[in-house]
Structure 1
Amino acid sequence: MRIISKLVAGAAFIATPALADTTIIHAGSVITDASGNPSGPATITVTDGKIVSIVDGFQPTPEGAAMIHLPEHTVLPGLIDLHTHLSGDPSGEFWRSAVNPPEWSTLVAAKNAHVTAKAGFTTVRDLGSRSDQVTQSLRMATADGMLPGPRIVTSGRTIAIVGGHGDTNGFRREVNDALGTSFACTGAVQCAEMVRTASKYGADLIKITATGGVLSQQGRGLEAHFSDAEMKAIVDTANSLGLKVAAHAHGARGIEAAARAGVHTIEHGTYIDAQAGRVMRENGTILVPTLMAFQGIKENLGTGFYTPVVEEKIRAVGPYAESIVERASEYGVKVAFGTDAGVFPHGQNAGEFALMRKGGMTDRQALASATSVAAEVIGMEKEIGRLAPGYSADIIAVEGNPLSDVAVLEKVDWVMVRGRVIE
């Protein structure tokens, strides 16, 4: 029997048991689902990356199995962040896209994947990478165990209108053209082609910028960008390929138009109003509010971190950010967890919980938004988001009870992704 605890420095990622081996976890308490309550001491058996059983008490460890001893901890499902950008770190220097090679983005993404997993986020949805194939490659590397990191669901590149948020801008014309995303489109036919191209290169879902953005260098407001025909073509084409669409959207009419077109999630939702909320509710559109992004950009105001055009937009959205969740709840819109990590430092993702609670969500609702609800959003509710036999062994351990104080998730002491311990 091999005993491994969170205090053993030698238990590195590559030294954890092979997937065919068995790991026994002794937990002081277990939360199997955000809708339940903590148990007493329990034993979780993991074999081949899957949970085999969860039984009361500390059970004996079979010969040859590894044992993780966490008698003072609450063990619960790994967390899910539905909006990250692993290949980027915070920077007001928009010109970096003109000088950093794609290889640099890959290294940054690998670093951030590890940091994110250590913070307790065992699955992420990455919505827009800075270079082609970065997150698709990282998705394979983390799945194979080549690199430590979360399960990755990725859109690859973002589809935008020409010159809009998501298309390179802010440089001289010839530089803009050289750096152009090749995923900008005009007209229903061309936009449908972009969806097929994203699918061709391995996208798990489609990400569009349905409105203007705060951090891009164009300052033409935050309302709708795509025409109704273009957005409908995007959604219909994605659906025909079995893909869902996530829409970056700030302005209320842009939110409404995207929801009416059938997008699955609205990212940010800054100016959501009753009319936009009604259309979202009627269409089953889910809001991913990314409150940490608003918090992060606000902290850099007045420091010279951003260009004047960006700073003006940050000041405009600031007064609305704190009430996004409150308004969505009032309109009956379902809310799921996502942070926009990359706009603020990766690894601080769990700060979103306190902001959601400030917006009126209970501790239990906030935890559910990052586990069972988020798992449903990505269509993996039968694999992740709770602890049960047959589910992926995506497990974290914290001190305290997140159902009574969700802020304890800001300090995660132990993480397992797909049966592999992250150190």
Structure 2
Amino acid sequence: MCRDHDEVEPLPSSISRRGVIGGAIALAGAGLAAVGLPAEAAGPGEARSLGRPPVPQAVVVENGIVLDPLTGRVVEDAVVVLDRGKVVAVGNRSQTRAAVAEVNGRARVIDVEGRWVLPGLIDVHVHENAVADARAALIRGATTVRSGTSDFYQDIGLRALGPWAPGVVPRMKASGTFVTPDLGTTILGDPALAPLAGGVRTPEELRYLTSVNLDRGVDWVKTRVNERAGVPEQDPLTQVYDYEQIRAIVTEARKRGVGVMCHSYSEQAIDDAVRAGIKTLEHGVFVSERTLERMARQGTHFTPTMSAIGGMRDSSNPILKQRGEQFFPVLQAAVRRAVELGVTVVAGTDSFGLDVDPIGGEVRLLHEAGLSALDAIRAATTSAARLLGLESSVGRLARGYAADLITLDGNPLENPSALEQPHLVIAGGAIVT
């Protein structure tokens, strides 16, 4: 067990690092051949090149009702023009006429027959370990996701795969290895983790594991202050890390400009994590009024993962069922109070593997908890994009933004449940469904 940071073996060489990430890509890509690349991965006459990612065919989406989540503006009989993975025009027919003419003859034209058209949704808390997992989220409308850790850095592999397989996996923000007291079999996924075989508890060990993640290129660091709620044998109100331990993680991550997301349930543990400077509070069922006020001041985001907490109510396990019935109304009240105090709430499903809750369902649950329909949509678009540092590229349908969109059979401003079953999904300009 590592006790003295100076005695820890140095991080592996760049060759070892490439080996680790290469293995992650291999694990994440299991089943990729079965999924296959979409036909739209290259335009007419364009050959795929190993020197650059494929360029999706231009697409014109017409006869839609476009919603801009940032402004709330609605445009009827709208046209969206997508080319080379970007939005090149959006507006009414006269506003988009020139852009449509530019892609005439090489674009696929889709008449969405009066359906609502929104930017692709963002799920800020998923666990995806393979292409099939990622695609399951994508076809449900999540064109951008943030990983809440993967077993062996598969999220880093999926992130690398995204540009080369448009329409196959969503855009990924990776968090690598869970910073948790006991790594279990995850320790076998990276030689640099061997010094942590005895556990990850001291500030030195916590800083070391955080630095390993950062050296692997993660976008976020994920840790916890409580045990898990979805495991009957664990007590989610048991605290596993305190303020000083979380502070060590946050300090190390901040050296490289990376934020920390933190799994949490109990009041004291949540307060310790927020005071320590985490960027997003995950789950956070028993967050106190005092801590919510601090979150509003500090700009700490709240990811309540209502789909996951509420889903326990349907469990066949009596312990989990009881937890869901107890926790869910408390979480609803916490979300409602967070909104009143000015805390930014973002949408995350905490989906695992192929057991994917649609991100649109999380939007509906946030609306039912007290967010306006528009703010609930923003939780999965503009607010989430801002959290991930992607506010200038995803979360809206505007010129220069990523060519991510979904179409819906109903008006999401009147009935957010319409988001749960998108009719059409386009990711990076490639047609998914």
TM-score bracket, shorter-length normalisation: 0.7 to 0.9
Question: Match of 2:215?
Answer: 200
- 2: CA distance, partners of 1:362 / 1:33: 12
Aligned to 1:71, what secondary structure does the other structure show? coil
TM score, norm. by length of structure 1: 0.81
Question: Match of 1:94?
Answer: none
- 1: CA distance, partners of 2:400 / 2:336: 36
Pick aligned residue for 2:348 from 311, 321, 338: 338
Pick aligned residue for 2:162 from 125, 128, 142: 142
Pick aligned residue for 2:107 from 45, 49, 65: 65
Question: Match of 1:23?
Answer: 59
Q: 1:144 to 1:283 in 2, by over 3 A?
A: same
Larger proportion of helix: 2
Which residue identity does 1:63 align to in structure 2?
G
- 2: CA distance, partners of 1:327 / 1:33: 22
Shift of 1:341: 1.2
Q: How many residues are matched?
A: 373
Q: 1:344 to 1:112 in 2, by over 3 A?
A: closer
Pick aligned residue for 1:42 from 46, 68, 78: 78
- 2: CA distance, partners of 1:183 / 1:38: 56
CA contact (8 A) 1:296 1:344 kept: no
Question: Match of 1:92?
Answer: none
Pick aligned residue for 1:127 from 140, 145, 148: 148
Aligned to 1:39, what secondary structure does the other structure show? strand
Q: 1:336 to 1:147 in 2, by over 3 A?
A: closer
Question: Match of 2:17?
Answer: none
Pick aligned residue for 2:124 from 69, 79, 82: 82
Spell out, residue by residue over 1:158-206, the C-alpha distance to the aligned partner (whole angstroms, 9 max, x if none).
10124xxxx449xxxxxxxx99996951211211111110112231110
Which residue identity does 1:298 align to in structure 2?
R
- 2: CA distance, partners of 1:24 / 1:146: 17
Shift of 1:82: 0.6
Q: 1:319 to 1:38 in 2, by over 3 A?
A: closer
Q: 1:40 to 1:147 in 2, by over 3 A?
A: closer
Question: Match of 1:317?
Answer: 327
TM score, norm. by length of structure 2: 0.79
Which residue identity does 1:121 align to in structure 2?
A
Question: Match of 2:32?
Answer: none
- 1: CA distance, partners of 2:251 / 2:344: 22
CA contact (8 A) 2:61 2:81 kept: yes
- 2: CA distance, partners of 1:313 / 1:299: 11
Q: 1:224 to 1:331 in 2, by over 3 A?
A: farther
Deviates more, 1:286-295 or 1:402-411: 402-411
Question: Match of 2:8?
Answer: none
CA contact (8 A) 2:75 2:91 kept: no
Alignment partner of 1:158 is 2:178: yes
State the superposition RMSD in angstroms: 2.7
Shift of 1:216: 4.0
Aligned to 1:72, what secondary structure does the other structure show? coil
Question: Match of 2:309?
Answer: 294
Aligned to 2:371, what secondary structure does the other structure show? coil
Alignment partner of 1:227 is 2:237: no
Consecutive unaligned residues in structure 2, runs of 5 or more? 1-35, 43-54, 186-192
- 2: CA distance, partners of 1:250 / 1:360: 20
Shift of 1:289: 0.5
Deviates more, 1:192-201 or 1:34-43: 34-43
- 1: CA distance, partners of 2:322 / 2:75: 50
Deviates more, 1:53-62 or 1:22-31: 53-62
- 1: CA distance, partners of 2:211 / 2:404: 32
- 1: CA distance, partners of 2:236 / 2:397: 44
CA contact (8 A) 2:140 2:422 kept: yes
Q: 1:119 to 1:181 in 2, by over 3 A?
A: farther
Q: 1:51 to 1:182 in 2, by over 3 A?
A: farther
Alignment partner of 1:252 is 2:267: yes
Question: Match of 1:410?
Answer: 420
Question: Match of 1:51?
Answer: 87
- 1: CA distance, partners of 2:196 / 2:136: 27
CA contact (8 A) 2:122 2:359 kept: no
CA contact (8 A) 1:293 1:344 kept: no
Displacement over 6 Å in runs of 4+: 178-181
Question: Match of 1:369?
Answer: 379
Q: 1:36 to 1:349 in 2, by over 3 A?
A: closer
Which residue identity does 2:212 align to in structure 1?
T
Question: Match of 1:356?
Answer: 366
Identical columns (%): 27
Aligned to 1:233, what secondary structure does the other structure show? helix
CA contact (8 A) 1:141 1:147 kept: no
Q: 1:82 to 1:390 in 2, by over 3 A?
A: same
Q: 1:259 to 1:120 in 2, by over 3 A?
A: same
CA contact (8 A) 1:265 1:286 kept: yes
- 2: CA distance, partners of 1:373 / 1:347: 20
Deviates more, 1:341-350 or 1:282-291: 341-350
Q: 1:55 to 1:274 in 2, by over 3 A?
A: closer
